[in-house]
Each structure stands twice: as structure tokens, then as C-alpha cells.
Structure 1
Amino acid sequence: MSSPLASLALSLLPTLLVVLTCCWLTRRPEAQCRPWRRRLAILLITSLAGRYLVWRVLFGLNQQSPMALGLSWLLLACEGWLIFTGLLQIGLSFSGRRDHTAAAKAGEALLQQCPSPPTVDVLIPCCGEPLALLERTIIACCRLDYPAKTVWLLDDGPEYEGTDPQDDGSPRQRRALARSLGALYPRRQGRQHAKDGNLNAVLPHCRGELMAVFDADVVPQPHFLRRTVGLFLRETRLGFVQTPQSYMTPDPLMRNLAMEDWLLPDEESFYRWIEPVRDSVGAVVCAGTSFLMRRRALDQVGGFSTDSLSEDLATGIRLIALGWQGLFLPEKLSAGLAAPGVADFAQQRLRWCRGTLQTLRSPRGPLRIAGLSWLQRLAFLEGALHWFNAIPRLVLLVLPLSTGLLGILPINLNGASFLMVFLPYWLSLLMLVSWLNGESRSALLPELYSWLLTPVLAWAVVQTLLIPRWRPGFRVTSKTLHRARSRLAWGLVLPLLALFVLNGWNLLGLLSVLPPSPAMATMLAQQQAEGNRLVGLLWSGLNLLGLLTALRACLDPPRPQSLPTFRVRWPARLSTDNGGTVHRVHVCRVNEQVVVVEPRDALAPG
């Protein structure tokens, strides 16, 4: 009896040591720790990943037949790629992150002493957004607490005459709206190059030294310019300042899974971890909205790039390559609307994917443009490489079928190997990744997004790489919040459903609920049948769980509100018109037109 227990204890020893080390490293938030703790955590993850890959090469390949060996190498290649891209993202944070909050405060003080502050053009590109949404953004931009500004509404919307005030209206209505609120209204001829063409068309008419850009749904806070303009006074080679994108409405994936109250959306990880890390190596990403740019720098690169769907990313790279500095200010100074539905969310991500890969292939992309350091190239390359993860992830969803169709398990894994090699690495990711990124993202959050988007993203990557001349039209993300009934994103559901059925068939065959295929029956009759069955069950089961979660996320519920509505918990007092009876209440929901309250105490009858 002692021998199995001793063997189990020995197998669990690496896991125990890793857990204790992780607990010791993460006693305090990463931002409050000395740099050596962060670097030790990165080295621990890297060493455990390397240990796992060495084990996979030496002992984890199924060598029973050439077919089994080929599938084993395919699985190992997919694992290796995902581990490499994950380590690359983590490794870029080895030198730490910068926080320019103090510099912004000093710049604001410098701006107050400036007798003639820099002039700023505030640009609002629009393309068919509802008039009520445009009105909200124009009002916010015109009320920016900064005297030397000019607000422009850049209309690329449809030309037909609208009648519904909640619709996009007509050019005449949009012009009247802009002028009534104090904004200028230019309208170009044609819609070539979409958003970047719209921005470039107004540049000859702008005279500001600086230029702020806000998407049509993004509402800046009044002090946006006061917090950012001063940075340009401090740094003469500052090309642009990027601030975080935040949203007034919940992420559709989180909302559909009822996780919006306890799980942060995807953009939080980018702006709380990835963008500050890139700032530390001089590779800030221009995100297309909520940024301020020096006009002289933009003129030097010939205006906004028209080479890809991601004009913001490409323009920022060219500025940095010419010696201009990009700076990320980690203050939420504006808020927009998240994609209203999962289909719109997927469309947005597909556009980002294609635009990033187009930029990567461009002669003036991060790989070939002159003027970037190797670390800057690596940081920009990491931003492109993670889109390729969709292909190995799709392979991982399909490869369990080799068990059912071919009777081959493409990995040689037993209980001792799992406990000694895989489990320590997996636990280190769970315990350290969220600590490294300031609790903005767990190791599991990317899985939620990948399960949903993997099939369509993999197809987009293949299209963009194999057909470089193929340029899909620029589709503006819908901003219409109202939805009368539930909606299913069929473009996402169909490939997910096919993968779900195949993995389900494989799982039922392993459980002997369905008659196994001849190849599977042969595998189950072998000496290591139970071990192979267990690994196959776990693999197919995890895939089914992820695919089921993704399918559930594809159903958008009805949305009766047409305005952003916030759930709050504010104590308040409610009285009658004559100031008589006063009730203690809680404000529980609020938007621009409606306030919903509930009593804190039981109300008297009547």
C-alpha cells in the first residue's frame, strides 16, 4: 500500500512546489512588487513550458505507426505555436510597464501656464449612425474643456432622405444637427478607402496643431484635452497619445453568458496590460479612436494609411518608424458603445484580424519598414501573430476525431506524466497570468473568445494570406441597441454546431453509447485502452463544454432599451411634487431618459 502512495506523492511534488512558489510570488498585487518578482514569475512559466515541450518531444509522441506519429507531430506543432505566442506576450512584460499619469498631471499644469495653447481639430468620422447617437457625441466634443478647438463631423453616411429620428437621417439632417450644435460639417465625394479616406479628405481644411479622433459612438469626458495636450508641450517628438477605449454597454459575449458582472471584457486586458507593456518598448498601438495626434507628424507620413483595414495601426507604425514617439495614457477619458450583438462583435474582430495581417504583409509593415528597433518589431509582430492562433485552435477542436475515425490518440500521456509535467505548467498559468496583468485577464478568458471565434477567424486568416489582393468591404459595426426579439448569429452557429456534433459522436463512441468505429474498437482492445479512453474522454469533453458555451453565447436576447442603460445602486430620497412624503429608495437603473428606483423600506398602503 505504501508504494502507490509514495509514487503518488512523488508525482505531486512538482505541482506542490509550483503552487507554493506561485502563492509566495502573488502575495501582493504585481504593481506593488519589486521587478524581480515579476521576472521570476515569467521565468517560472517559461521554464515549465520548456519542460513540458521537452517531455512532449521525448516521451509524449505516439509512435505506433507512421500515421500516429504524423498526427502526434501535428498536435505538438499546434501546442508549440500556442505556447510560443503566449510566452511572447508574457515575455514582453519582462522589463515592466510605464505609467504616464504623473507626466499628464505635469503637462496639465504646464498647459495652464501656456499663454497660447495649441489649436486642436476634433474629428468625428461617421457612417450611417443614428442621429441621436451623433447628437450625444457632438455635444460631448463641443463641451470639451479647452478653448482652442474646432469640432468636425465627417459624414460618410448614406445620401437618402431618412424620416425616423432614430435612424441615420439624410445629409441635410446631419448637417443641420452638426451646425446647430456648433460643429463643422464637410462631406466628401465618394467613399473610397472608408474611414481612413474620410479622415484624409478633411485634412486640407484643418489648421490645428493637434488632432483628436473619436468614433461616432464615443463620448469624451470634458477634461480629455486638458489631460492629453500638455504631454505634447513636454515632448517635442511626441507623435500621438492613445487613451483606453471603454464601453458604456456590456461586451455581448459576457452579456449573453451572464458574466458581465464578474468577468472583465476583453478590451480591459489590452488597455490594462498589453498596451502599457508595448509602451515600455516604444511600440504603442494607435487604436483608431480616443487618441490625440500631432498634425506635423501625420503630414510627414502622408496622412492616414490606406493600405489596410487597420489604418490606425499602420499609421502608428509609420510614425514610430520615423522617430515619433507613441505614448499610452492609462486613464479612461472616453466611453463608447460595445458591439450590440455577437454577430457584430465577430464582424469587428474579423476586420481587426484582416487589417492587422494586411499591415503585416505591407512593405511599410512592422517587418520591413526601416526605423524600428528589433524589440519594437517583436512587439508589433506579437500583435499580428496571435491572430494565427485560430488555426492551431481549430486543429485542437478537430483532432480528437482521430480517435473515433482512425483509432489513434495523437499523444502518449499517462497519469504520472499528467501530474508531474502538465499539471504544474497549467497551474502556473492559472495562478500567475492574471497576477502579471493586474487581474485584467485570467488564463481562461481567452478560451471563451477563442471557442466562439476560432472557425471564422481561421477562415479569415487563410483568406487574407492566400489571396493578398482580396479586400473585403469596410463594414461599420452596428450601433443600434434596440432589439425587439432574440437573434441567433447563424454565421457563427453553423460551424460551431458541426464541430459539436463531431466531438459528441466521438465522445459517445468512447463511452460505448454508440457503436464504436472498427478503428476505435481496435484501439480500445489494446493494452493501454483505459488510459487512451480517459484522455480521449477528457479531450472531447472539454471541447464539447467549450463549444456548448460558444453556442449559448450566439443567442442575443431581446433588448427593449434603445439607449445605454446602467445598472447602479445609489441611495436616494423620493418625494412628492409638493415636498410632502419622502421615501428612501435605491436608484437601480438609469439612462438619458429614464430613472428606475426601488424602495429601501416597505411602503405604506396607498
Structure 2
Amino acid sequence: MARILNVAGWAVLALLFAFLVTQPIDLNTHFITALAAAAIIAILKNFKREGIARLIVLGLGTAIVLRYVYWRTTSTIPPVAQLEDFIPGIILYVAEMYSVFMLCLSVFAVADPLRRPPAPVLPDEDQPTVDVFVPSYNEDAELLATTLAAARQMDYPAEKFTVYLLDDGGTDQKCEDDDPEKAAEAQARRRELQQLARDLGVRYLTRAKNLHAKAGNLNNGLAHSHGELVVVFDADHAPARDFLKQTVGLFRENKRLFLVQTPHFFINPDPLERNLETWSRMPSENEMFYGMIQRGFDKWDASFFCGSAAVLRRAALETAGGFSGVSITEDAETALELHSRGWQSSYVDRPMIAGLQPETFASFIGQRSRWAQGMLQIILLKRPFLKRGLRLPQRLCYMAASLFWMFPFARLTFLFAPLAYLFFSLQIFNASGAEFAAYTLTYMLINVLLQNYLYSSFRWPYISELYETIQSIYLIRALGGVVMNPTKPTFKVTAKGESTAQSRISELGWPFYFIFFLLVFALLVTIWRVWTQPYIADIALVVGGWNVFNLILMGAALGVVSERRNLRQSQRITIDRKAEIVYGSEVVAAKIDDVSVSGTRVLVPASALKGLKRGEEVMMRFEPRSPMLTTNSLPLKVMSVVRDQGGQALGCRFSTKEAEHFRLVADLVFADSNEWIRFQQGRRKDIGAIRGILEFFVMAFYQTVRGLSYLFPRKDEEAQSQGIGPGDASTKHHGPPERLPPPDRPADTHGENGDGPSNSPSPQGSTVYAAE
């Protein structure tokens, strides 16, 4: 009875809200009301964003948005009799309604995001048994060694967890390939990884055939293991030591819990962050999802499996036949199936794995195409909004997660819609300049303020629009392929560990230049229309202003596809650990200043190691945090020596020659998740809507100039590219991948790419000793 009354109450409230939204008022009244709502939202943003204040903001924002929807639906659509206007007009209307619907879904999802208390820490004798799966397909052995070493050293009773390397690159099918060269390569890989597994104390598993991609590989792991819980780490996702201690306790509290998901924290920039140089000063793209949306989903018991950095209950997986593999996003599909069977999930908002993002724009698009296709497959094949067993909030959350990937349709519509009027005089949006200002501009203002209120520390203004724009041109085709044949897409592993050998325009970048110059031409048409047709100047200025915004967005996109030269193989993490450097008979006290998976910077006194030169080897001793380690000595090759009055900085590469060395590197780089939390919090800055918009416009102007300059390579860039063919600009290196750079770090002294010390200038008064 109480449930019926609750539903009836919400229905009455919704009807009352709809009545108020649809009341006819004049333009001035609506304009003033919308501005007053914007002012209230801006004021309340400065208070604690929870409770009644949060509900007021969400209610006001939703009311103005729905007022716009009502006006847009009843007053602006072209008449059906004028098909040349009606058809593009309806396309634009549908794109806008999609955007409004997604805004409403996101507001619902994050209306009251959940922040869970820490998981209880269980006594060792009560800890459940755990199987750790690291699925692999074509990843480099050194990359896998780092992840496996970090996984093996997690702080957990050694007899209660087992690490499995699930190798899909050395299956019987691949080892017996008809192509002798491919067969030999697979056989060599299998032997290499079997030896790596033995050296690191993990179990190697492969299978007969590569069926059902990653889901099939994980299910093979399930068939050959017995732990109560299953942990999944991608091959490039190295865990911190506290991962299991921060998660498994939740399974003892809730017997219906099937999943504990944690954030994917990436320690290298994606192509947008790298090429626009926003990596250390602006929140990363995924932080809105992992920092807010997953917490919002968790409130409604709808946080879902993201493929890695997660713990799952074996008993729950067995009720669904293991990991689902109908779509190419097996993670969300598996979670959907288990949620529909009454199992529950939890989300722990603490970064405890360090992963890699695609380095090049082409790899980035390949990864996002797979995500988009997989989520569309779930919509078409699994129908989460109709699936039996889900509660209404869960349906809405899964709809928000899956329908989000339809954004290419809306984004491309918004990009090209102004051209229908400017080039062909089509009336696809029937409104005067005054009506546009009163309704559309205030709707856009409320939209920006509402997004800033909800996500201010996680996403700056117009960054989402930029990410969506740079993906849309290629994702629209990928989505079209799924619509034509929902079962056709196949799982493709995202390239890892790439580097860009020279500054260049991405091979996928040319459509952006074409669209940019098309929008420039539309700007000239706008000026001509205003000059020659003053009687329609208000409409021309409105549509022309829309085109100018698109031009700014596309200018920023030029910066994204203008790939910067990047030879560094590994990013650094700032740490502060005591060590000793052994050089011959000399033992010197030192401090480890920063590390990466391939090297370290060590600070020593100015008076020590006078004879040390580049290319020599030293031994570094430090106190490891993992009790599993049997040695504390890690060999280093000195790549640079920077000396000044305050001391010496040694830029060194790790000389990893045996398994214990990889364990020591993992202990240095991945032992402490607090390092990642500090870095993440350092760039989660709420700069406000106004400053955020100004920063975006300034960045877009600069990137437009930079992107256009790539059409005319400079002489120094031409010199860089000597000996590199058109197809060699992006090459996969065979060393460890990039790692985390701390914000605002000084010059790099690792010399990690093997080409000598960094090209960055030395500190004032310093001397760099290196072989010529």
C-alpha cells in the first residue's frame, strides 16, 4: 500500500509540474524567469550541493529545460506541407530532444550520488579465496610483467589468492595457424609467457580456440580456477597493494553482492589531453563517469562492470553461465544480466589501478568505436529498458549508459544544421530573433549552469562537446554498421604502448580540416547575408552565431588531430623514498624523487659519485613495501647526471634482468594508491562556468592556429622526419608504456628513451654530464 501511495504521490507531482511548465506566458516573463532561475542556480552552487538545495537546483533547471521543450514542440517545427523545411527541421528537433532526454537521465542518475564508507577489513582467516585474471591477447611481455608483478604483490594472504595470466595470443588455434610465420610467432609468445609466469609465480592458461574474444578467455579462466571471488585486471592495469583489502570485505556484508567496481585511473594522457596539453591541469575525461556518474548509479544499485579493476562473485557468474559474450562490451552485458537476476553491485570510488589510454588519435577512435558498437548491441539485442527483473531506476541508469553512445547523430546534426539556412535558405527552425533569445539562449545558459553545478570538479564547460565532436565523424559509421547487422562487430584489442615519432596530422584528421574550411566559408556567407539582406539580419546573425560556435569547436578539434611528437616511453610518478646508491665500493645515501616503469630520478649529495658518467651501471637499494620480495637491490643504468650547488640528480633506466627486478619496479611504482589520489585531486578544480568558457575559447583559438600550422611543416620538423616514411610516423615501441607525470614537474632527467638526457633546459647554474 505504501508503495502505491508513493507512486501516486510522484504521479500527482509530475502532473502539477507539467501543468506549470505548459502555462502560456509572454517572452519577457519567460526571459526574466529563466534569468532568475539561472541566478539562483549560480548562487546555490556556492553552498553544499546536497539535500534541499540540490533538489531546488535540479527542479529549477528541469523546469526551464521543459519550458523550452514545450515551446520548441508547439511553436518552431516547420509545416509538413513544406517538406524541404520539414524533413531537416524534424531531424534537428529529434537531435535536440535526444539531448534533452539524456540531460534528464543524467540529472536523475546523479540526483543523489552515493559515497560508500570504506570496506571492512577482515581478519586473514576470514578472507575469501580470490582468483586474479589478467587476460592478454597481443601485449608486450614487459608490459605484462609489470602488471603481473604488481598483482602478485597485493596485500593479501598469499595462500588465499592466485594470479592467472590468460593468454589468448598463444592458443592452440594460433600456434597451429596455416601461416608458418604466424604459427611460429604464437608458439614463441606462448613459450615466453609461460616462462614469465613461472618466474613471477603466477599460473599460465591458454585455450584451444579464440572463441567469444575476451568473454571466452575469462570463462576459460573460470573453468580452471576455484576462488570464491574473481578479480579482473586488463593487461595494462597494474593494481596498488591495497586493492583487495579495500574491496573484498563488502562481499561478506552482502551475500547478494555480485560486483565491486573501482575507477579506471589512467596514468598517461589520451590524444586530446596530450595534444592540447591539458593532462595535468584539467580533469580527465573519464573522471566525470567514475567520479560522479558511477556513484550516482550506485545509489540506484546500477553501477556496472567496466571490464577491469573489479571484483566479482563466482557464484553469481555461474548462475548466468559466466561472462556474457553476445556483444563486444562483455562487461556491461554481464552486469545487466546479473542485475536482472536480482544480484546487487557496489562502487568503491578510490583509484587503485594504473592503466593506459590510447596514445594516437587513430587508436583512440578504434577504442571508442568498439565501446559505441558494443553499447548499441546491448540496446538492440538485450533491450535494457524492457528486460525483466530490472527495477525502474536500474532501467533508467542502463538507458543513460547505453543511449549516451547515440551522441554522434545529435552532434553531427548540430554541426551541419546552420548550413541548411546559410547555404540553402531552409527554414528548419521557425522562430524570431527575440524568441530565440528568450527561449534557446536561456535554455543553453541553464544547461551550462546545470552541468557545471553537477560536474564542476569533474568536467569543464564544452569539453564534453569537444570529445563528442572529435569522435562523431567516425563513430556514426561504426554505429550504422551495427544497425545494419547487430551481430557483426567483433572484439578488437586497443593498441597500447604507442609513441609518435614526429609531429604530424593524424591519418584520420583530414575530415576535420575539410569541415573547418566549410564552416569558414559559411561564416563568409553569414557576413554577405547580413550585408545584403538587412531585413533578415536578426535570423542570419542567430544562425551565423551558431555556426561560429561550431567553428570554434572545430578549431579546437584541429589541435586534437595535430599530433605532437612524443618519444618518451614512460610517465613519471613523484614519490619520496629513501635509498642507497652503490657505485663500486662507494655507498651513498639517496632519495628517490620520481619513478616510472622504465626509470627513476635519484637525488644524491653534490660531493658524492664524482667519477660517475652516463652509461655506467649502479645498484640502488631501498626498503620494499611488499614482504614477498627477497632482495632490495635494483640495477640501474645512468642516462644523465645533473649537478648543481644543491646536489646531483641521476636520471637512470632500470636494468631489469630477472623477475625479482620487475617485482621491485612494481613495488616502487604501484605500491601506494594514495599517490594517484593526490594527483587526481590536484587537477579536480572547480574553475566556474564563466572562467571555464573563457578558457575553452582561448584554448580553441590557440589550437586553431596550431592545427593550421601543421599544414605547413617547419624545417626542424622536416628534419625530424628524415628516414621516416608516411606509414612510420606512429610506431609501437617494445619497452614499457608511459606512466603518470606529476603536475608542473621540472625538467625530465631520466633519459628514458635511450637517446640521452632530456631536451628540457637544465636548472639555472646546473651542469649536465652526458656523452655526446
Normalised to the residue count of structure 2, the TM-score between the two structures is 0.69
- What corresponds to 1:122 in structure 2? 132
Q: Distance in 2 between matches of 1:192 and 1:486?
A: 39
Question: What displacement does 1:317 show?
Answer: 1.1
Which residue identity lines up with residue 394 of structure 1 in the other structure? L
Decide whether aligned partners of structure 1 residues 325 and 395 sit closer, same or farther in structure 2, where only a CA change above 3 A counts.
same
Q: Distance in 2 between matches of 1:577 and 1:155?
A: 50
Decide whether aligned partners of structure 1 residues 77 and 250 sit closer, same or farther in structure 2, where only a CA change above 3 A counts.
same
Q: Distance in 2 between matches of 1:555 and 1:323?
A: 48
Q: 1:564 pairs with 553, 567, 571, which one? A: 571
Question: Which deviations, in whole Å up to 9, do the C-alpha atoms of 1:142-164 show, x marking residues without a partner?
Answer: 101111110111111266899xx
- What corresponds to 1:516 in structure 2? none
Q: 1:583 pairs with 646, 651, 669, which one? A: 646
- What corresponds to 1:79 in structure 2? 96
* Identity of matched residues, %: 29
CA contact (8 A) 1:121 1:206 kept: yes
- Listed as ranges, the matches of 1:401-550 within 5 Å are 401-437=419-455, 439-469=457-487, 471-491=488-508, 493-512=509-528, 528-550=535-557
Which residue identity lines up with residue 646 of structure 2 in the other structure? H
Question: What displacement does 1:367 show?
Answer: 3.2
Question: What displacement does 1:525 show?
Answer: 6.3
Which residue identity lines up with residue 45 of structure 1 in the other structure? G
Q: Distance in 1 between matches of 2:450 and 2:154?
A: 41
Question: What displacement does 1:366 show?
Answer: 1.8
- What corresponds to 1:294 in structure 2? 313
CA contact (8 A) 2:267 2:355 kept: yes
- What corresponds to 1:234 in structure 2? 253
Question: What displacement does 1:72 show?
Answer: 3.0
- What corresponds to 2:667 in structure 1? none
Find the residue that maps to 2:349 and give its secondary structure.
Answer: coil
- More moved, 290-299 vs 21-30: 21-30
- Listed as ranges, the matches of 1:218-367 within 5 Å are 218-363=237-382, 365-367=383-385
Q: Distance in 1 between matches of 2:342 and 2:201?
A: 36
Question: What displacement does 1:579 show?
Answer: 7.4
2:37 is the counterpart of 1:18: yes
Question: Which deviations, in whole Å up to 9, do the C-alpha atoms of 1:427-454 show, x marking residues without a partner?
Answer: 2222231221352123412101111011
- More moved, 347-356 vs 582-591: 582-591
Question: Which deviations, in whole Å up to 9, do the C-alpha atoms of 1:327-371 show, x marking residues without a partner?
Answer: 1000111110111111111111111111111122224x5234321
Q: 1:170 pairs with 159, 167, 189, which one? A: 189
Find the residue that maps to 1:178 and give its secondary structure.
Answer: helix
- What corresponds to 1:518 in structure 2? none
Matched length: 575
Q: Distance in 2 between matches of 1:157 and 1:563?
A: 25
Find the residue that maps to 2:204 and give its secondary structure.
Answer: coil
Q: 2:61 pairs with 36, 42, 45, which one? A: 45
Which residue identity lines up with residue 98 of structure 2 in the other structure? W
Q: Distance in 1 between matches of 2:291 and 2:556?
A: 26
CA contact (8 A) 2:422 2:543 kept: no
Which residue identity lines up with residue 143 of structure 2 in the other structure? L
Q: Distance in 1 between matches of 2:90 and 2:534?
A: 23
Question: Which deviations, in whole Å up to 9, do the C-alpha atoms of 1:251-308 show, x marking residues without a partner?
Answer: 2212112222332121100001111111111111100000001111111110111101
Find the residue that maps to 1:387 and give its secondary structure.
Answer: helix
Q: Distance in 2 between matches of 1:52 and 1:333?
A: 43
Q: Distance in 1 between matches of 2:446 and 2:540?
A: 27
Decide whether aligned partners of structure 1 residues 407 and 90 sit closer, same or farther in structure 2, where only a CA change above 3 A counts.
same
Q: 2:396 pairs with 364, 378, 397, which one? A: 378
- More moved, 228-237 vs 544-553: 544-553
Q: Distance in 2 between matches of 1:427 and 1:257?
A: 26
CA contact (8 A) 2:27 2:438 kept: no
CA contact (8 A) 1:487 1:555 kept: yes
- More moved, 392-401 vs 134-143: 392-401
- What corresponds to 2:229 in structure 1? 210
Which residue identity lines up with residue 367 of structure 2 in the other structure? Q
Decide whether aligned partners of structure 1 residues 56 and 590 sit closer, same or farther in structure 2, where only a CA change above 3 A counts.
farther
- More moved, 11-20 vs 437-446: 11-20
Find the residue that maps to 1:490 and give its secondary structure.
Answer: coil
Which residue identity lines up with residue 465 of structure 1 in the other structure? V
Q: Distance in 1 between matches of 2:162 and 2:241?
A: 15
Q: Distance in 1 between matches of 2:388 and 2:85?
A: 45
Decide whether aligned partners of structure 1 residues 168 and 267 sit closer, same or farther in structure 2, where only a CA change above 3 A counts.
farther
Question: What displacement does 1:119 show?
Answer: 0.8
Question: What displacement does 1:602 show?
Answer: 4.0
CA contact (8 A) 2:433 2:542 kept: no
Q: Distance in 2 between matches of 1:479 and 1:331?
A: 24
Find the residue that maps to 2:164 and give its secondary structure.
Answer: strand
CA contact (8 A) 2:505 2:561 kept: yes
Decide whether aligned partners of structure 1 residues 320 and 176 sit closer, same or farther in structure 2, where only a CA change above 3 A counts.
same
Q: Distance in 1 between matches of 2:321 and 2:763?
A: 60
Question: What displacement does 1:322 show?
Answer: 1.4
CA contact (8 A) 2:500 2:565 kept: yes
- What corresponds to 1:197 in structure 2? 216
- What corresponds to 1:136 in structure 2? 146
Q: Distance in 1 between matches of 2:516 and 2:309?
A: 40
Q: Distance in 2 between matches of 1:136 and 1:370?
A: 42
- Listed as ranges, the matches of 1:83-122 within 5 Å are 83-94=100-111, 96-100=112-116, 102-104=117-119, 107-108=120-121, 111-112=122-123, 114-122=124-132
Decide whether aligned partners of structure 1 residues 12 and 400 sit closer, same or farther in structure 2, where only a CA change above 3 A counts.
closer
CA contact (8 A) 2:408 2:469 kept: no
Decide whether aligned partners of structure 1 residues 605 and 473 sit closer, same or farther in structure 2, where only a CA change above 3 A counts.
closer
- The answer for unaligned runs of 5 or more in structure 1 is 1-6, 513-520
- More moved, 539-548 vs 202-211: 539-548
Decide whether aligned partners of structure 1 residues 504 and 184 sit closer, same or farther in structure 2, where only a CA change above 3 A counts.
same
Decide whether aligned partners of structure 1 residues 601 and 552 sit closer, same or farther in structure 2, where only a CA change above 3 A counts.
closer
- What corresponds to 1:56 in structure 2? 72
Normalised to the residue count of structure 1, the TM-score between the two structures is 0.87
Decide whether aligned partners of structure 1 residues 116 and 60 sit closer, same or farther in structure 2, where only a CA change above 3 A counts.
closer
Question: What displacement does 1:20 show?
Answer: 2.2
Find the residue that maps to 1:273 and give its secondary structure.
Answer: helix
Question: Which deviations, in whole Å up to 9, do the C-alpha atoms of 1:169-204 show, x marking residues without a partner?
Answer: 621111111110111111112211111111111212
Which residue identity lines up with residue 477 of structure 2 in the other structure? W
- What corresponds to 2:168 in structure 1? 156
